[in-house]
Amino acid sequence: MTLEQWLPVFALMISLAASLVIFALPETGYVRRTSVNLGAAVLKLVVVIVMVWGVFHGVNYGVSFTMLPGVTFVLRADALSMMFAGLSAVLWLLTTIYAVGYLEDSPNRRRFFGFFSLCVASTMGIALAGNLFTFFLFYEMLTLSTYPLVVHRGTEKALRAGRTYLIYTLTGGAVLLFAIAWLHSLAGDLSFRDGGHFVDADPDIHRSLILIFILLVAGLGVKAALFPLHGWLPQAMVAPAPVSALLHAVAVVKAGAFGIVRVVYDVYGVEASSALGLLAPLSWLAAFTILYASTRALWQVDLKRRLAFSTISQVSYIILGIALAGPLAAVGGLVHLLHQGIMKITLFFCAGNYAETLGIHRIDEMDGAGQRMPGTSVAFTIGAFGMIGAPPLAGFITKWVMGSGALAVNMDWVILVLVGSSLLNAAYFLPIVHRLWFREVKGAWPEERHWGRLETSPWLFWPPLLTAVVTVVIGVLASLPFSPLSWAELIVLREYAP
């Protein structure tokens, strides 16, 4: 066993250690805490980049040990895990920068950053887990570490939202555990494997396999906010903006979606799940969620709540993409894991900027904010257009690839869903963009604050602009190697030709 194989463990340990150090530092150790946090985030990014390079060249990273009789704990890196790990590492760095500015002068920052790092460590574990058991360990750890973040403000509303969040996620976790345990007693300790394990499963266990699949998707669907399990997400908006950003872009909802991808690809296998007749209903559910949540978003007057419903809709693209059971559609779904993350975090950063700088929370208060905060508003506009799917932004790539993929497997109805969803996206984003740029300022802002030369604090100003630039770049340069699109193609290639 070489040192190189331990890289996944290092990647996980960096965030975990950062969290422990932050808890150990005093509340007032502002500079030390920030340097530990940023240092760890940069270090982790380097480790992840090294692993991405290695996985591309076919290196196997991974360690495992027996945790319980018959159960192994496996951490390892494959192409799919690196996609999620890379997203998590990049966004951890950006969100940490943002959160440092956002929480300036507020109490309980030690608790916040400690659990924040713990939450990122959990997403890392989810990304690198090598079997369902290990995945579940980190999946539940994620639930626990995000609860203190959701209730961070300590208000009655936050505490209520935290309660709803727990009821949903812990119940989902219990269902998931039951399904994993059942699958384990049926088929033993299954490590994730390209192509899955059940291609030629014994017909006697087909019924059980179908039931287990339904339970797995139900358990994971809570975090992925699949209809009708999405109720917790809009309520959780009460959390501070960096938390919402992270929850939506990479941590919680993505963990659910990523889990479903793992189940379909690496546990059951696309072929087997499709042969068992499981993927078609899943694609209908995902399509319905896309349209339903977009419609609900139209009626939201609170900016963050509108973004929340947009997330519910967008995450289902990932599930739709893989449920179509064609390679090209799968590329579209997987690439959205990254694209949606980058675009959605941009939008949430911007929403946080409006709230922190001008005190704006509702959409009807946003009139003319583009003049006061041009940088933030440019970023917001790019993010919004990306979500709508305007070329050449990231969102367009997703929709284009997925549409072609749907046609390739003769699922023409998906085109209608994509078009309908794009229209709905436009219907709920364009009015905001219109208000930003083309309406006159109504009067004084609700709670305006000033920071020298820039329109807002530099900690808050740069992260959304950077992610907006990335949104453009990964759209324009989608065909270059190591772009999200090429990486998604690599994953699908390995899945379909194991």
| Of the candidates 177, 125, 173, 120, the residue with the CA atom closest to the CA atom of residue 149 | 120
Query: Binding of another protein at residue 70 (CB under 8 A)?
Result: yes
Query: Binding of another protein at residue 164 (CB under 8 A)?
Result: no
Candidate list 163, 206, 435, 439; residue touching another protein; CB under 8 A: 163
| Inter-residue contact 425 to 388 (CB < 8 Å) | yes
Which of these ranges, 49-57, 180-188, 376-384, 412-420, lies near another protein under the rule CB under 8 A?
180-188
Candidate list 102, 116, 136, 258; residue touching another protein; CB under 8 A: 136
Please give the residues from 108 up to 127 whose contact with another protein meets the rule CB under 8 A. Answer: 108, 110-111
User: Could you give the C-alpha distances from 303 to 47, 93, 153, 347, 461, in angstroms and in order?
Assistant: 36, 25, 19, 10, 19
| Inter-residue contact 14 to 40 (CB < 8 Å) | yes
* Min dist. Cβ of residue 466 to another protein (A): 33
Burial of 153 per CB tally in 10 Å (0-12, 13-18, 19+)? middle
* Cα 156 to Cα 395: distance, rounded to the nearest angstrom: 37
Please give the residues from 272 up to 311 whose contact with another protein meets the rule CB under 8 A. Answer: none
Which of these ranges, 148-156, 241-249, 381-389, 415-423, lies near another protein under the rule CB under 8 A?
148-156
Please give the residues from 312 up to 331 whose contact with another protein meets the rule CB under 8 A. Answer: none
Shorter beta-carbon distance to another protein: residue 136 or 461:
136
Which of these ranges, 173-181, 242-250, 300-308, 323-331, lies near another protein under the rule CB under 8 A?
173-181
| Inter-residue contact 41 to 96 (CB < 8 Å) | yes
* Mutual angle of helices 374-388 and 413-438, in 10-degree steps: 160
| Inter-residue contact 336 to 403 (CB < 8 Å) | no
Shorter beta-carbon distance to another protein: residue 17 or 454:
17
* Min dist. Cβ of residue 290 to another protein (A): 30
Query: Binding of another protein at residue 155 (CB under 8 A)?
Result: yes
Burial of 2 per CB tally in 10 Å (0-12, 13-18, 19+)? exposed
Q: Lay out the site mask for another protein across 84-113 (x = CB under 8 A, - = otherwise).
A: -----------------------xx-xx--
* Cα 255 to Cα 247: distance, rounded to the nearest angstrom: 9
Shorter beta-carbon distance to another protein: residue 174 or 423:
174
Query: Binding of another protein at residue 400 (CB under 8 A)?
Result: no
Candidate list 6, 10, 56, 73; residue touching another protein; CB under 8 A: 73
Which of these ranges, 145-153, 275-283, 326-334, 433-441, lies near another protein under the rule CB under 8 A?
145-153
Query: Binding of another protein at residue 231 (CB under 8 A)?
Result: no
Beta partners for 77?
Answer: 61
Q: Per residue in 450-468, is it b (16+ CB within 10 Å) or e — as a string?
A: eeeeebbbebbbbbbbbbb
Candidate list 184, 193, 362, 494; residue touching another protein; CB under 8 A: 184
Tokens representing 98? Answer: 């943002």
- Among positive and negative, which fits the CA dihedral 320, 236, 81, 390? positive
- Among positive and negative, which fits the CA dihedral 311, 316, 319, 325? negative
Which of these ranges, 52-60, 170-178, 257-265, 379-387, lies near another protein under the rule CB under 8 A?
170-178
* Min dist. Cβ of residue 75 to another protein (A): 13
Shorter beta-carbon distance to another protein: residue 164 or 295:
164
| Of the candidates 290, 343, 332, 295, the residue with the CA atom closest to the CA atom of residue 312 | 290
Count of positions on this chain that bind another protein (CB under 8 A): 41
Shorter beta-carbon distance to another protein: residue 180 or 387:
180
Query: Binding of another protein at residue 435 (CB under 8 A)?
Result: no
* Cα 187 to Cα 185: distance, rounded to the nearest angstrom: 6
Contacts with another protein, residue ranges (CB under 8 A): 23, 66-71, 73, 107-108, 110-111, 133, 136-137, 140-141, 143-144, 147-148, 151, 153-156, 159, 162-163, 166, 170-171, 173-175, 177-178, 181-182, 184-185
